[in-house]
Amino acid sequence: MSNLRDLYQEVIFDHNRHPRNFGPLPDANRHADGFNPLCGDRLTLNLRVQDGIIQDARFEGSGCAISTASASLMTEALKGKTEAEAAVLFEGFHHMVMGEATTVDLGKLAVLAGVSEFPARVKCASLAWHTLNAALKNEADPVSTE
Amino acid sequence: MFDVEALRIQFPILKREVHGRSLVYLDNAATSQKPRSVIDAERHYYEVLNANIHRGVHALSQEATDAFEAARDKVRDFLKARRREEIIFTRGATEAINLVAHSWGRSELKPGDEILVSEMEHHANIVPWQLLCEATGAVLKVIPIDERGALVPGAVESMVNARTRLVGITQVSNALGTVNPVAEIIRLAHAVGAVVLVDGAQAVPHMAADVTALDCDFYVFSGHKLYGPTGIGVLYGKQALLEKMPPYQGGGDMISQVTFRKTTYNDLPYKFEAGTPHIAGVVGLGAAIDFVHSVGLEAIAAHEDRLLAYATQQAECFEGLRIIGTVPGKASILSFVLKGVHPHDIGTILDNEGVAIRTGHHCAMPVMDHFGVPATARASFALYNTTAEVDALFGALRRVEELFLK
């Protein structure tokens, strides 16, 4: 039996109730939208990237606890990272939520490891990260993980 | 006396467990579970009768054809249609609507003609008409709904006009449970010379459909919401309309004679049944109709109404719960949102408690937009559900509350 508490850890509730880096980013130079229409999860990610380093990351939108907490935790993790480091985190995060082994140090993001036990919710956790990928490539089309 | 326990034992799946708990299946508006008699009918078909129909001279082909056509007679009787030629088997309600949009629509509509659908339609009764409008230059108009989830009073009357060619309306809303006044809508549409397609997918498990009394021009439903197999559905059409309509798909069974110079089409209903159909599904649908008759639609509706009333009473006392769709006389659907919790999180936690509900937009995104919610949680009841299962639903919702709102 999958443990609900593994999925819904306190840190996740905290980030769901009080999402960090939530709101507009007026001087953003990278942007992408993520939308999972079946769930109704929708987010906009704004980044300020300078000399290959993510100086700031903020998001807006609405979604379930998993997608909101994932976006909130992601924006925290991204600040100060190079684009290459962000790509490594993306890979590591992806492996973790798919239940695969990873050597990447995910730090606080590891609280989302429980998602791998809930296959229907992997798309919620990964929406923000796929949106990040699109933002770094400055893709115009909205991203979906459904 | 409605003996729900005696009915439950006829549904093998209801014995299973989910996450170590007894399954509480409250996602019946998405699809219903199947009784033993339907499963046995399909099995019997494959074990004893299987052959292609309407062709062979051998015994199996004849017996398979007889079983297939006997199911058509059951559907005719179930819908109270006048003639068996008016019953077309399709893959489901969706394909039936597409058939009408394609065949009737493309041969009948011209630029400026109007199609009317309601704001509460399932995407299956929106998108085929949008495609038709793109192809023909016809215009899609939307009958608005009010804050209770009912059609705005007087809207249909004010919107139908000489340009209206078709009204597509659901009899029961899958997202809200609203029962629409289809007889009145049909009368108003006919007064301006428009035809009416009634989407009965959500209605047939709960109320007797009488296409002759309704006088609708087309009526569609799916087998799988009526305790029957997936992948099989029905289009009813008035014979005069079906006769005039060109074939939807070409192939075997729908032809009378084929040469490379000219092909003549088969008579109704076969003109619209190209290719080898889902014979086992049709036989299973016949068994499902027998099953529903054996319980009685009135008894089923009364039981479901009791469950809905019981659930609604508990929902109204549940702090932070908002019911989406509050029209009196709803059919068997409780759609809701919980303040501070996304429906998807509700769905996962309920699933962990063994309670299966639907969360999402229910293929009715315009309804979600209307109520300003991204999604809802939806519990929908069938003849085998019990008040204890309603209690389990609210027990599980308390668990959501504990986890999220403590």
Region B102-116 average pLDDT: 98
Region B25-36 average pLDDT: 98
Q: Which of A127, A129, A97 is nearest to A110 (CA)?
A: A97
Q: Name every chain A residue with its beta carbon within 8 A of the beta carbon of B343.
A: 40, 64
Give chain B's mean pLDDT.
Answer: 96
Cis peptide before B269 (omega within 30 of 0): yes
How far CA B406 is from CA of B205, B206, B398, B403, in Å, comes to 39, 38, 10, 6
- Cα dihedral sign, A130-A8-A63-B394: positive
> What pLDDT does residue B70 have?
98
> What pLDDT does residue B64 have?
97
Backbone angles phi, psi at A43, to 5 degrees: -145, 150
* Mutant choice from B348, B359, B362, B402 vs A, greatest count of A C-beta within 10 A: B348
Q: Which of A97, A95, A90 is nearest to A131 (CA)?
A: A90
Positions of B marked catalytic: 363
CB contact under 8 A, A8 and B352: no
Strand partners, A61: A43
**Cβ burial, residue B60 (10 Å; 0-12/13-18/19+):** middle
Q: Which of B237, B247, B249 is nearest to B267 (CA)?
A: B247
> What pLDDT does residue B379 have?
98
Between CA B194 and CA B188 the distance in angstroms is: 9
Q: Name every chain B residue with its beta carbon within 8 A of the beta carbon of A39.
A: 342, 344, 359-360, 374-375
pLDDT tens, residue by residue, B322-337: 999 999 999 999 999 9
Q: Which of B67, B364, B103 is nearest to B247 (CA)?
A: B103
Name the token pair of B257.
């004679």
- B362–chain A nearest CA distance, Å: 8
Q: Name every chain A residue with its beta carbon within 8 A of the beta carbon of B342.
A: 39-41, 62-65, 68
> What pLDDT does residue B99 have?
98
Instruction: Check whether B38 has a pLDDT greater than 90.
Output: yes
Region B78-89 average pLDDT: 98
Reported ipTM exceeds the 0.85 cut: yes
Q: For residue B362, what is the nearest residue in chain A, using CA coordinates?
A: A38
Give me the residue from B344, B375, B404 closest to A124, CB to CB: B344
Lowest-pLDDT range of B132-141, B246-255, B378-387, B388-397: B246-255
Q: Name every chain A residue with its beta carbon within 8 A of the beta carbon of B375.
A: 39-40
Region A107-136 average pLDDT: 95
Grade residue A2 by pLDDT with cuts at 50, 70 and 90: low
- A102–chain B nearest CA distance, Å: 26
For residue A100, what are the contacts with CB-CB under 8 A and spacing of at least 6?
A: none
Backbone angles phi, psi at B120, to 5 degrees: -95, 10
Residue written as tokens 């840190």? Answer: A11
Give chain A's mean pLDDT.
Answer: 93
Grade residue A80 by pLDDT with cuts at 50, 70 and 90: very high
CB contact under 8 A, A37 and B361: yes
For residue B39, what are the contacts with CB-CB under 8 A and spacing of at least 6?
A: B12, B284
> What pLDDT does residue B308 have?
98
**Cβ burial, residue B218 (10 Å; 0-12/13-18/19+):** buried
Grade residue A38 by pLDDT with cuts at 50, 70 and 90: confident
> What pLDDT does residue A1 have?
42
For residue A45, what are the contacts with CB-CB under 8 A and spacing of at least 6?
A: A31, A32, A33, A34, A57, A58, A59, A71, A75, A128, A131, A132, A135
Q: Check if A80 contacts B (Cβ < 8 Å).
A: no
Q: Name every chain A residue with its beta carbon within 8 A of the beta carbon of B398.
A: none
Contact B81, B125 (CB under 8 A): no
pLDDT tens, residue by residue, B123-169: 999 999 999 999 999 999 999 999 999 999 999 999 999 999 999 99
Q: For residue A119, what is the nearest residue in chain B, using CA coordinates?
A: B348
Strand partners, A33: A44
